Amino acid sequence: MKRSEEMMRHPERRIKDKETITALLKRSLIGRIATVNSKGFPVIKPVNFVYEAGRIYVHSSMRGEKVRDIRRNSLVCFELDEPIAYVATKGPACKANYYYRSLLIKGKAVLLKDINKKRKILERMMEKYQPEGGYETMEDEVLKKTALIEISIHNMTGKERLG
């Protein structure tokens, strides 16, 4: 994964620690994937995801806007954030603040076809979202009808404001 070389308005807020970035990717429950639709408009959707082996995986229906967008143009943006605390102000409104961590990822998306890889990644996703277990593995016929989007990370920028 490449770090973004783009200029940050507040470079002191860049997350430099790789372990912090990895932990954020592992524990965040909701991410947002951005594509460009057929009319040229950016579209962003909240998604369940799992981070595995340096890639992001998103579960989806085979039919839908984001899959159509990816088939047309595989470049995507992925974002996640972790709100920490709102800091109220007693003075001017512009002095109110928010403490947070966030990641902005630019990458290339592909639709996985390999049934065994899809099963493995979807099992990791179930472990993340339902750690208590109790679910059954997916049958091949269901896996064939399920889209799994793999995002290769081209660059990533982490930002935090903690105080």
Per-residue DSSP letters for 6-54?
SPPSSGGGB---HHHHHHHHHH---EEEEEE-TTS-EEEEEE-EEEETT
Q: What is the largest CA-CA distance in the chain?
A: 60
The domain spans of the chain are 2-161
Residue type at 62 in one-letter notation = M
**Bridge partner residues of 47 (DSSP):** 31
Q: List, for residues 142-158, the tens digit of each pLDDT value.
A: 898 899 999 999 999 89
Residue among 55, 59, 5, 46 at smallest CA distance from 25: 55
Q: Which fold has domain 2-161?
A: Pnp Oxidase; Chain A (2.30.110)
pTM: 0.88
Q: How confident is the model at residue 3 (pLDDT cuts 50, 70, 90)?
A: very low
Residue among 148, 145, 143, 144 at smallest CA distance from 67: 148
Neighbours of 62 (CB within 10 A): 11
Is 116 within 8 Å of 148 (Cβ atoms)? no
Q: How confident is the model at residue 23 (pLDDT cuts 50, 70, 90)?
A: very high
